[in-house]
Each structure stands twice: as C-alpha cells, then as structure tokens.
Amino acid sequence: MTDKAIAATAVAVGLTAGYVAGTQKREKSEPVGRPSGSTTGTAAKEGERKYLIGGNWKCNGTLESAKALIVTLNEAGPIPANVEVAVCVPAIHIPLVLATLRDDIAVGAQNCGVNTKQGAFTGEICPDQLVDIGVTWVCIGHSERREGFEMAGEDSALVAKKVKVAVDAGLNVMFCIGEKKEEREKGVTMEVCAKQMEPAAKLLTEDDWSKVSIAYEPVWAIGTGLTATPQMAQETHADVRNWMSENVSPAVAKAIRIQYGGSMKGANAKDLLAQADIDGGLIGGASLKADFFNVINGAL
Ligand code: PGA
C-alpha cells in the first residue's frame, strides 16, 4: 500500500495520519504503521517447498484485542527465512491489520464471495475488493464453513468455484480439506479428501495451482486439542500429494504446499513440520497468542 492508502486506512480504523507517521505520542500497547519484519535462518533451496504457516483468527477479537495481538506479533522476533506467514483475520479487522501488522506477515481473509464482480450481493466481499484493499491470501473451504454453523454449508462444488474466482482475481488460496471423525474411523479419509478436491481439479489450470496451498485439517482435530500424530498426518499428506500427481500433474504435486491443521501449537509443531510432506500449518487457537511464533520457529 502507498503511504496515503495506509494513512487513509488508519483513519478508517480510528488512528490519525500523524499517529501512523509516528509524530504523535502513543501508548506502548498500540500498534503504529506497518513495521518492517526481520528474518533468521537459511532460505529454502531452489526446488524446495518454503513452509507456509497460516493463522486463522476465526470470528475472534475486538478492536482492542486485535491491536494487542498485532503488538505481540510485531514484537515476536524474526521469521525463519524458509517460512512464509499469512494470517487470515476477521473481515472487519482487515484494515487495521493491513495498516499496522509487521510487513513480513501477509494478510488474508477467511472467505470470499463466489461473485466475480461487485454489485447486488448483500453481505459478500468479492475477491476484487480483497485485492483492492491489499489482501493477498484467502482461506476457502474451511470445515466450519463446509458444515455451515446453523446456515447452509458450502459444498465442494461451491468451494472449488470460490478457489477459482479467488485465484483469477490474483489472490493466493489456502484450500481446506479434511475428514470427520467417523470417516477416519471407517477408513475412508482419502476418499473424502479426494471428493473435496475433485471439483477444484476440474476447474483449475496447472498455473492456477501455483497460487494454491492445500490445508489438510482433520475435522476431529480442529479446536479439540486432539492432533493427528506426525506419522498419521504424514501418511494422509503423502496420499493427498499422490492424488494431486495422478489427477493434476506430477509437477504440481511436487510444488504444492500441504499444510496441516488441527490443534497445532508450539509444543507439537516441530515434529509435524519435520515430516517430508508437511509443508506448514493452519493454526487456529494458537494463532491468537504469542505461541504462534513457536509454531513458526518450529520450522527452523
Ligand atoms: P485449531 O484450528 O488450531 O484451533 O485446531 C485450526 C483451524 O480451524 O484452522
């Protein structure tokens, strides 16, 4: 964003332009402007997949708590050079985060409309509008949205269309898949994941897939404190990559990042990230705390 756009955004979220430029006194707990991030460690080598750690703030936070979380993240130290970080925040907090979060953490939305253009789509935010404001990532197909929480849920055909319109608009997508507890118990985990990926494989070109990361999130592990063991997660990640190889192309399968999600936190991140086919994480609860950086540093 230009300085003017940052100042305008900051005004919109209740900070004055002078405040953003640092000319006004502030409380230590208030984030100001978009500070530069810092890096450590060794970058991924040519041909290696760079880790992707996503934060999913879900429907959490007030203006005050979001500001405090931004300060925590801004002061959390360097990000390993082999890790890309993006946080998917509530739509209402996007302007604040874009104006004040360290510039080495990308900003994402948690959903977008399937409408390609602005217009009479009450309640929706279309991908172009996300791009316009400076958002670069969007999380699509999260199991909570597929399930629907007292509204109609999103099926895999709709999820695939959203992935396509988001990629076409220039966004990067965390495309979520994953099985429920009873499906794992029945031994149909991969069939379920394949069904969720099929419509997207039909709609997306090979080029489109370069903007997509698959977030494999076993539904029984989300927000429950239950985590798939590293071996269990690795096995499914390898199956998903294999499916991509057979149904999209070997080159896309080799390049695509597959994040694990489901009660991932500082204490278990290192072992999960050490697996050959686990290329990052999608973090819910732990992304609302300083522990998010323990996950990030698990890739070191
Ligand atoms: P969790 O959520 O880390 O709180 O389990 C993950 C997610 O839903 O993306």
Question: 61-89: per-residue pLDDT in tens?
Answer: 999 999 999 999 999 999 999 999 999 99
Residue nearest to atom 3 of ligand 1 (CA): 284
Evaluate: CB of 223 within 6 angstroms of ligand 1: yes
At residue 2, the pLDDT reads 46
Q: Which atom of ligand 1 is nearest to the CA of 224?
A: 5
At residue 29, the pLDDT reads 63
At residue 51, the pLDDT reads 98
pLDDT over 50 at 1, yes or no: no
> Are 289 and 70 within 8 A, CB to CB?
no
Q: Tell me the sheet residues that pair with 283.
A: 55
84-114 pLDDT, tens digit per residue, is 999 999 999 999 999 999 999 999 999 999 9
Which of 137, 138, 282, 294 is the pocket-test mutation for ligand 1 (most atoms within 8 Å of CB)? 282
pLDDT over 60 at 263, yes or no: yes
Contacts of 128 (CB under 8 A, 6+ apart): 116, 117, 118, 169
Strands (E), 152-217: 172-177, 212-216
Evaluate: CB of 263 within 6 angstroms of ligand 1: yes
With a threshold of 0.85, does the pTM exceed it?
yes
Average pLDDT, stretch 38-46? Answer: 92
Rounded CA gap, 297 and 120, in Å? 44
Residue nearest to atom 7 of ligand 1 (CA): 284
> Are 143 and 222 within 8 A, CB to CB?
yes
Evaluate: CB of 259 within 6 angstroms of ligand 1: no
